[in-house]
Structure 1
Amino acid sequence: MTGMKADLETARGRTLDDVLGPRTVVLFCGINPGLYSAATGHHFARPGNRFWPALHLSGFTPRLLHPSEQRLLPSYGLGITNLVPRPTARAAELSQDELRLAPARLARLAATGTGVEVVAVVGVSAYRVAFDRPKARIGPAEETVGAARLWVLPNPSGLNAHYTLPALTAEFRRLRDTVVLPPAPPAS
């Protein structure tokens, strides 16, 4: 194996750090890091993933951020984590047992004193397994994680043909309209 494929395979053993700040209002929660994200060290890093454009177009960030700028998210009251920290080529490689450990992990993160108000799980199918809610839908969830509300968003992967970028942005905007974020920092 040579080149990018070898780099991606070596990423299987890496995990990504959670991105949290002292006042994380919305904690976005991906399913798990893809190998590309693990290789780069940045959440939602694969070209074609629509997380960053949807985040900006829905009003969460004042400009389109590159995945390498994820460290700026806490200044906007945002954070990122994953249901499962183990990187895989496809989310289908995760076991149901791994996904079912996620609620306890998220409860610990939401209770870290960062003020998390909403945990937004990005991927309804993984949410259904993790939270044992087979009929869960996109939008606000019935349950909470500690004191934080739960919200289910569509998977922003370019492979999710059910949601175009405008439709994905509209769902992110529904969530954005329910929270008060700190003032954006001055442009640099």
Structure 2
Amino acid sequence: MAPTKADLEAARNATIDDVLGPGLDVLFCGINPSLYSAATGHHFARPGNRFWPALHLSGLVPRRLAPAEQHLLPSYGLGITNIVARATARADELTPEEIREGGARLARLVREVRPGTLAVAGVSAYRVAFGRPGARIGPQEETVGGVAVRVLPNPSGLNAHWTLEAIAAEMARLRPRTSPDGVRTGSG
């Protein structure tokens, strides 16, 4: 059942637990939870968000998962966190200082969890969080917490510049490559 207007308002400033596990290949990082996500307790849960369909189309998971199935992600070597933990109605409600503080927290988390790749969904927030005004979608030269970074398009339905297929294609570049002898060689 979808959250009510009262549920959404009650979710303001709430947080959602990270989805983590040992040996993650990819740690996805959103900007911050929406009120809808905070009300449900599931990342990227707002109807119209293209994270879950793009994740499936990318080939990183074998079927389309529902937000309520986020607990399955570590079994696929995947996890989810956010730059800023608190839920807002819109990401533009976050201050630059809050985003930079979230970037520092994220770097500490990445050093602890040690995923193969950090995949940040949202280039504008990445630029602010890590002081990289020239960053673009794709692999970054700099690391975060000693881990390689790929910036992805924001999967929000409000990001009309990117189609579902284009978001999925960017995610597909995170799939581990396998050499002819079956050895995984990291993400592309």
Matched, 1:65 2:65: yes
Give the aligned partner of residue 123 of structure 1: 122
In 2, are the aligned partners of 1:27 and 1:81 still within 8 Å (CA)?
A: yes
Residue 19 of structure 1 aligns to a residue in which SS?
A: coil
Residue in structure 1 matched with residue 53 of structure 2 by the alignment? 53
User: 2: CA distance between counterparts of 1:29 and 1:43?
Assistant: 10
Runs of 4 or more consecutive aligned structure 1 residues displaced over 6 Å after TM superposition: none
After superposition, what is the alpha-carbon deviation per residue over 1:126-175, rounded to whole angstroms, capped at 9, x for unaligned? 11111111111000011111221111000000111100111111111122
Cα distance in 2 for residues equivalent to 1:115 and 1:60: 19
TM-score by length of 1: 0.90
The question of whether the paired residues in 2 share the 8 Å contact of 1:122 and 1:152 is answered with: yes
Aligned to 2:164: 165
Match of 1:8 in 2: 8
Work out whether residues 117 and 147 of structure 1, in 8 Å CA contact, stay in contact via their aligned partners in 2: no
> Could you tell which deviates more after superposition, 167-176 or 46-55?
167-176
2:13–2:88 Cα contact (<8 Å) kept:
no
State, as a whole percentage, how many aligned pairs show the same letter.
Answer: 69
Distance in 2 between residues matched to 1:161 and 1:10, nearest whole Å: 28
Distance (Å, rounded) in 2 between the aligned partners of 1:90 and 1:176: 30
Match of 1:185 in 2: none
Q: Alpha-carbon deviations, 1:82-139, whole Å to 9, x = none?
A: 0000100000000000111123212221222x44111110001111111111111000
**Any unmatched runs of 5+ in structure 2?**
179-183
Distance 1:58 1:13 in 2: 31
Structure 2 partner of 1:175: 174
Whether the 8 Å CA contact 1:25–1:117 is kept in 2: the answer is: yes
Whole-angstrom distance in 1 between the partners of 2:168 and 2:174: 10
Q: Report the TM-score when normalising by structure 2.
A: 0.90
8 Å contact kept, 1:43–1:67: yes
Q: Please state if 1:78 is matched with 2:72.
A: no
Q: Within 2, Cα distance between the matches of 1:129 and 1:107?
A: 14
Q: Match for 1:175: what amino acid? A: L
Indicate the SS of the match to 2:80.
strand
Distance 2:73 2:50 in 1: 16
Please, which runs of 5 or more residues in structure 1 have no aligned partner? Answer: 182-188
Which position in structure 2 is the counterpart of 1:186? none
Contact 1:26–1:116, Cα closer than 8 Å, also in 2: yes
For these two proteins, the number of residue pairs brought into alignment is 178
| RMSD (CA atoms) | 1.6
Q: Distance in 1 between matches of 2:171 and 2:76?
A: 15
Cα contact 1:30–1:83 (8 A) shared by 2: yes
